[in-house]
């Protein structure tokens, strides 16, 4: 796993073989945005120690959605010290293992990539994790000076983005990807809804956009997101 500083002293990107998670570090606490696949705990712990911080400082794990490359490590990491796991109300039953995941509606473009990923076993269900707080659109979370929850359905029913207005930082989950270039995310349950969620995210005044897949866009990310949003075909 590779660790990359995105915003000096504030944000680290944890890059896994498939996708990544993000670690926001305030002076008195740490917040993890997504948790990688099951088994990612040691890599996340290494990243925390690399900041000169302690695992016990992790207060919250915010899941953008339930897919195993985002939620698979949640139970393991939460078990360190009881960090709260947060997910959207519609996503929580899947994270807990109470409901099965709804499969994506694959486009022709998606199909070959999806089959390759599924063939590796990377889409096996995540180990169930408790969800300590079910969030809703408009909720404000206690990190980064106030982090706004943005319901962005389409990739999954309860996908969310997280926006830190004081820093101009947006976490899009898989609604947006930057792989191989900035684009609508793949493997969506509802493409039309995903497009609308992309447009909602693009309307924000962001400087840095962080994605579940692909490198962050640093510097006036809003204009780049809007350009792509305007060109997305239904």
Q: Give the tens place of pLDDT for each residue, 211-220.
A: 999 999 999 9
CA atoms within 13 A on the CB side of 23: 32
Which pTM value belongs to this model? 0.95
pLDDT at 17 > cutoff 90: no
Determine the pLDDT at residue 225: 98
pLDDT at 123 > cutoff 80: no
On whether the CB atoms of residues 41 and 73 are closer than 8 A, the answer is yes
Number of H-type helices and E-type strands within the chain = 7, 15
Please compute the mean of the pLDDT values over residues 156-163 and round it to a whole number: 98
**Pairwise pLDDT comparison (159 vs 2), residue with the higher score:** 159
Of the candidates 234, 177, 233, 179, the one whose C-alpha atom is nearest the C-alpha of residue 201 is 177
User: What is the average pLDDT value for the chain, to the nearest integer?
Assistant: 93
Determine the pLDDT at residue 15: 77
Express as a percent the part of the chain with pLDDT over 70: 96
pLDDT at 124 > cutoff 80: no
């Amino acid at each position: 796993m590779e660790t990359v500083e995105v915003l000096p002293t504030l944000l680290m990107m944890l890059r896994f073989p498939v996708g990544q998670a993000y670690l926001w570090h305030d002076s008195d606490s740490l917040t993890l945005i997504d948790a990688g696949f099951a088994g990612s705990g040691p890599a996340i712990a290494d990243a925390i120690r690399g900041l000169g911080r302690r695992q016990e400082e992790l207060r919250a794990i915010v899941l953008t959605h339930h897919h195993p490359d985002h939620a698979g490590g949640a139970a393991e990491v939460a078990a360190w010290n009881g960090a709260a796991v947060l997910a959207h109300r519609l996503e929580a039953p899947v994270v807990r293992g109470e409901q099965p995941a709804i499969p994506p509606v694959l486009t022709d473009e998606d199909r070959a990539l999806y089959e390759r990923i599924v063939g590796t076993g990377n889409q096996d269900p995540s180990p169930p994790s408790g969800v300590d707080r079910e969030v809703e659109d408009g909720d404000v979370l206690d990190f980064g000076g106030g982090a706004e929850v943005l319901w962005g359905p389409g990739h999954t029913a309860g996908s969310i983005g997280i926006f830190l207005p004081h820093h101009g930082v947006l976490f899009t989950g898989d609604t947006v990807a930057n792989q191989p270039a900035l684009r609508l995310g793949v493997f969506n349950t509802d493409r039309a809804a995903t497009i609308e969620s992309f447009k909602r995210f693009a309307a924000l005044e962001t400087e840095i956009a962080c994605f579940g897949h692909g490198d962050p866009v640093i510097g006036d990310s809003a204009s780049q997101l809007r350009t792509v949003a305007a060109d997305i075909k239904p």
